[in-house]
Structure 1
Amino acid sequence: MGQAMPQATLRPFLPTDTPILAAIFVASIAELTGDDYSETQQAAWASAAEDEAAFGKRLAGQLTLIASMNSSPIGFVSLRGADHIDLLYVHPSAVLRGVAAMLCDALEKLAGARGAKTLTVDVSDNAQEFFLKRGYIATRRNTITLGEEWLANTTMQKTLGEASPPV
């Protein structure tokens, strides 16, 4: 009989988490988005974590939750304002293990408890299916500029309190 996988746990962001979360951010972009974005687009996107102090300040200024396994962070999600998911990243080695769903479940509940009626998120092309399965609908297509690069993403929205479709 195989050994059971340890369960991921959630906790709030601490400033000392910044270097590992920056590494998760960069690894996730590098290893999970290559089918949808060029290497130069990925590099421009990942550059948001190069200034760790600024990246940490961004995370600290939002409601940021961390998923950990064996006390090591494996993913994170942040809520900007009352109703916008700013960042959702999971380390590539932890993808498809329910970590992103656990992070989103918790953030959706917290946002709802704080009075949000809807949540929006600007979703990379590779993450659209995940959010569609959670009941988010596409509301507009965006083109953003990062340095010299242009990247496309999609704004999606979910009405809170509605059950997510079965996965």
Structure 2
Amino acid sequence: MAQPGLRPFLPADAPTLAALFRASVEELAAEDYDEDQREAWISAADDEAAFAARLSGALTIVALVDGELAGFASLKDNQLFDMLYVRPDLSGQGVGSALADAIEKLAGARGVTKLTVEASDSARDFFAARGYVGQSRNTVTVAGQWLGNTTMIKELAAPAAGRTH
């Protein structure tokens, strides 16, 4: 697959991204979370206005494949890799890596020296392969369900000093 195109999140993307989020959790987290846990997790997109506000309140980028939304990622408060979701039919084809590369580069360009992610059990290996190191195991309550995740941190390279010509 060709490298996906990336662009900033637009408010008009919210309904499609909410559906993508739901499908991603339902299908890609099925091995790690039971149906009740996935339903609770998915409920984060039930209020599409609140979901859109969450995306707008962070630095959110979207990936496009063949002109269609294929995934999204967000950087919250310039230090938390808040969300990374890929359309299930494109999982494992480089969309998530392209989004993660972009978030890491954007964070580094903003002077961030380390990124934190609260990685789901389904995403933990993906982040570990990118150099994120587990710090603590967590249990969070979402819509009455307990979900496990892992706080992971990646040290980013210091930004290059300005070049003079």
1:122 equivalent to 2:118? Answer yes
Q: State whether structure 2 residue 56 is matched by structure 1 residue 81.
A: no
Q: Which residues in structure 2 correspond to 1:19-58 (within 5 Å)?
A: 19-58=15-54
After superposition, what is the alpha-carbon deviation per residue over 1:17-42, rounded to whole angstroms, capped at 9, x for unaligned?
00110011000000011111010000
SS at match of 2:23: helix
**Corresponding residue of 1:66:** 62
Q: Secondary structure at the match of 1:54?
A: helix
The correspondence for 1:9, drawn from 5, 9, 27, is 5
Unpaired runs of 5+ residues, structure 1, are 163-167
Query: Could you tell me the TM-score, scaled by structure 1's length?
Result: 0.92
Match of 2:131 among 127, 130, 135: 135
Q: Which residue in the other structure is 1:94 paired with?
A: 90
**SS of residue matched to 1:56:** helix
Give the alignment's Cα RMSD to 1 decimal: 1.0
Residue of 84, 90, 107 corresponding to 2:103? 107
CA distance in 2, matches of 1:8, 1:90: 12
Identity of matched residues, %: 53
* Aligned pairs (5 A) from 1:128-167: 128-161=124-157
Normalization by structure 2: what TM-score? 0.93
Q: For residue 126 of structure 1, give the secondary structure of its aligned residue in structure 2.
A: coil
Deviation (angstroms), 1:8: 1.2
Kept in 2: contact 1:6–1:70 (CA 8 A)? no
- Distance in structure 2 (CA, Å) of the matches to 1:95 and 1:86: 19
From 18, 29, 32, give the equivalent of 2:14.
18
| Amino acid aligned to 2:74 | S
**Distance apart, 1:43 and its partner CA:** 0.2
Aligned partners of 2:149, 2:38: CA distance in 1, in Å? Answer: 13
CA distance in 2, matches of 1:6, 1:118: 29
Find the aligned partners of 2:128 and 2:102 in 1 and give their Cα distance.
17
Asked whether the equivalents of residues 3 and 98 of structure 2 are also in contact (C-alpha less than 8 Å), the reply is: no
Distance in 2 (alpha carbons) for counterparts of 1:7 and 1:155: 29
